[in-house]
Amino acid sequence: MPLTPFSPDPLVPSKPNAHEAGLDDVFIYLRRNLPLILAGLAGGLLLGILVQLFTRPVYEAEARFTINQLPFDFTGGAIDAETQRQIVQTLILSFASDRVEQGVAQSLGVDADRIAFRDSEKAVSLYSSQVGANVRITPVRNTRMGLIRVQSQSPEFAVRVANAVIEEGKILNVIGAELIEYQRLRSMHKEQFDTLNKQYAELQIEAAKVREQVELLQRYISEGKPLEYFPSFEADPTLNNLKTQLILVQSEYDRIATQSTRGPRLQGKAAEVDGLKLQIAGHAKKLETSLRSRGESLELRYQQMVKDLEQMRLNSQKEDIAGAKILDALACPTQAQPNASSLTNKVAGSNVMVLLDYAHVDHRPVRPILWLNLIAGGIFGISAGLLLPIFLAASSTRLRHSRQIREILGIEFLGYLPPELSIQTLNMTNKLYEHPGYSNELAVLRDSMLHLRKEHEPPYIYALIACGAKNTAHYMVADLAVLFAEAEKKVLVIDLDFLNPRLSNALGITVPDSGGLYRWLQDGKTLKDCASFSVFQELAVLSPGGNLRSLQNLMARRSLDDALGTEGKAWDYILINCPDLIAQNELPLALPTGRRVMFVAEYGKTTIGNSQKAIQIVRQNEWKIHGMLLRNSPEKVTLRGGVTKVRSVV
């Protein structure tokens, strides 16, 4: 059949002065699609008005407070500015808690499920018939102020919730008062403990010294030395006076004794000497008793002071535990459980949290906003009007209609082919006829090829070229080969897909590792020796086999076209499966000039650009183009086109 006339090179647009897109092209595009853009704008504005009319209004109430005083400031202002900022932010964000939510719900007499803190739980729907409120508490940047924003369907309910949150937040003042009292008592007890600890240290030193003196005295007495000459007693003035008097009286006694051996005077001095000695011994004994008594007294005081310090330490631990609870409450004030006396007056405790402004009723809704809906609808409509022509143009770049093949590609359209049953399952066995039937369209194509006018003797060689890298044309080659075999024709299938050979699997023929084109090129054997046959011998496949990476370089060793002209006479038909010519160009090694080729495209997947590139390569090699088939076409397209859409390839 004569081909549809086409221009010498319809693949490349005839624009010798092509230029890059500029601002003028933008204006041309806008002017060309102005009606569609205006229609999109009108539709967007109408959509915005509908949203405004049918959306339930939402109102917002706002209350403000400030963290006026940090309880940690009572420690002497030793906290840096960044730490203070973090503490303030923690105190403000701690309002969003379950306790506040439950307290607000209880004070308002509503269910807790109708109130939600947006930063910690899922928001409640504000478009239902049941009134709810979403609360958001945020700190104001670089300040100590916090904002309570409440959104609800009812402005009055939003105000009630915001003010209730403020009242629940006043627990900070209670905790602050407890912390102030704790810090005052802690400071007073610390001073007492420091004083007692200082006295304890002094007493410990003094008791150690007295204990050492008693031990030395005990050792001194055990050695039989006179008690009055103990080194620690030498500083006693009374003992020294008695010793001085004894020396003087003893000297007077010795002087009188040199003059007279007896007499009342000598006896008086002797009695005086003995009396002084008795006084010295008695006083030394008193000093010993005093030293021992002092040591015992200091030991008793030491033990008592140890008990007092231990008791004060235990009291400090109890106070620290109580203080830790207060600090924990300060870290999460809404979880605190203040005592009953503090709850009687929440405000009088301290001014940690100071109210700036209660929430007030505002009957202006925060959403929906008419001008915002109109702007959003207008932008949406204009965008739709601008993008719709692009989408329409993009959808026309893929092959779906015979008109595209005839008018754009300039080749004959051979027909629509539905999805073959063989591609729906790959679990085919090597038994050739144990597979589902084929479509009528494929049978018509087979018949047209069988009734080919005999311009020359067999074999009749056809190359089926895939258009697109992801094409599955090998399934169609396999199905045609099976149909030829069913018509009692001998068929040889050559697989030139060196990257992903799949024809042998589709035909259910087991290919040995030592067969295929690789062996034919290496060993110099015949095609029949290297081909793999089906169980009935009418069908054979010549797969790539061997080392796929080096196969393309080896193709120049032997002429496959010469072998097909001589050895190919053993078959009636030779079908060559060729992958995409753009990625793999092995077909020129197998086809001489003037051979017949058919393009196989995937419906809705193969692009016009890829098809044009493949057609250009075919025309450069001067092969005969008989047309293009669209595989995997939808059922409605196939039924509408009918089997007559499959053209004869003669």
For residues 258 and 233, membership in a common domain is answered with: yes
CATH of the domain at 241: 1.10.287
Domain encompassing residue 131:
59-170+347-357
Q: Which of 610, 609, 650, 648 is nearest to 629 (CA)?
A: 648
Look at residue 342 and tell me if it is in a domain: no
pLDDT attached to residue 157: 93
Instruction: Using DSSP, state whether 352 is helix, strand or coil.
Output: coil
Q: Distance between CA atoms of 636 and 163, rounded to whole angstroms?
A: 66
Which residues on neighbouring strands pair with residue 578, listed in sequence order? 465
Q: Residues 521, 496: contact at Cβ < 8 Å?
A: no
Query: Which tokens is 16 given?
Result: 């010798």
| 263 within domain boundaries | yes
Residue 161: the pLDDT is 92
- Residues paired with residue 64 on neighbouring β-strands, in sequence order: 147, 357
Which residue stretches of the chain have pLDDT < 70? Answer: 1-21, 71-78, 260-262, 326-350, 394-395, 420-444, 446-456, 469-472, 536, 548-549, 552, 556, 583-586, 588-590, 592-594, 639-650
Q: Which residue in this structure is represented by tokens 């030829």?
A: 484
If one counts every other C-beta atom within 10 angstroms of the C-beta of residue 171, the result is 26
Pairing relation of β-strands 353-357 and 59-67?
antiparallel
Radius of gyration of the chain (CA): 56
User: Within this chain, do residues 416 and 537 fall inside the same structural domain, yes or no?
Assistant: yes
Q: Is 223 helix (H, G, I), strand (E, B) or coil?
A: coil
Residue 49 lies in a domain: yes
Reduced to 3 states (helix: H, G, I; strand: E, B; else coil), residue 71 is: helix
CA dihedral 153, 156, 161, 165 (to 10 degrees): 140
Same domain membership, residue 162 and residue 78: yes
Q: Structure tokens of 410? A: 């300039």
Residue 18 lies in a domain: no
Does pTM top 0.85 for this prediction?
no
**Residue linked to tokens 């890059």:** 20
Which of 49, 63, 572, 648 is CA-nearest to residue 353?
A: 63
Residues 207 and 162 in one domain: no
Question: Are residues 204 and 252 both part of a single domain?
Answer: yes
Same domain for 190 and 310, yes or no, is yes
Same domain flag for 457 and 528: yes
Q: What is the pLDDT of residue 470?
A: 65
Distance of alpha carbon 51 from its chain centroid, rounded? 35
Q: What is the pLDDT of residues 94-103, one digit of tens each?
A: 778 777 888 8
- The position carrying tokens 């939600």 is 116
Are residues 500 and 534 both part of a single domain? yes
Whether 118 and 97 share a structural domain: yes
Q: What is the tally of structural domains in the chain?
A: 4
Say how many Å lie between the first and final Cα of the chain, rounded.
Answer: 6
Q: Read off the CATH number of the domain in which 415 is found.
A: 3.40.50.300
How many Å apart are CA 513 and CA 529, to the nearest integer? 13
Q: What is the pLDDT of residue 283?
A: 78
Does the residue 229 lie in any domain? yes
pLDDT at 226: 79
Whether residue 622 is found in the same domain as residue 518: yes
Would residue 245 count as lying in a domain? yes
Whose structure tokens read 């006896």?
Answer: 267
Asked whether residue 133 falls in the same domain as residue 209, the answer is no
SS3 content of the chain, % helix, strand, coil (to 5): 55, 10, 35
Residues in the chain: 650
Same domain, 39 and 108: no
Residues 597, 18: Cα–Cα separation, whole Å: 33
Give the span between the Cα atoms of 603 and 600, in whole angstroms.
Answer: 10
């910690």: which residue's tokens?
Answer: 120
Rounded Cα distance between 139 and 84, Å, is 13
Closest by CA to 587, choosing from 496, 650, 512, 503, is 496
- Picking from 462, 434, 488, the residue whose alpha carbon sits closest to that of residue 629 is 462
| Alpha-carbon distances of 195 from 200, 201, 312, rounded to whole Å | 9, 10, 12
Answer whether residue 383 is part of any domain: yes
Residue 635 lies in a domain: yes
Nearest-10 Cα torsion for 80, 86, 91, 97: -160
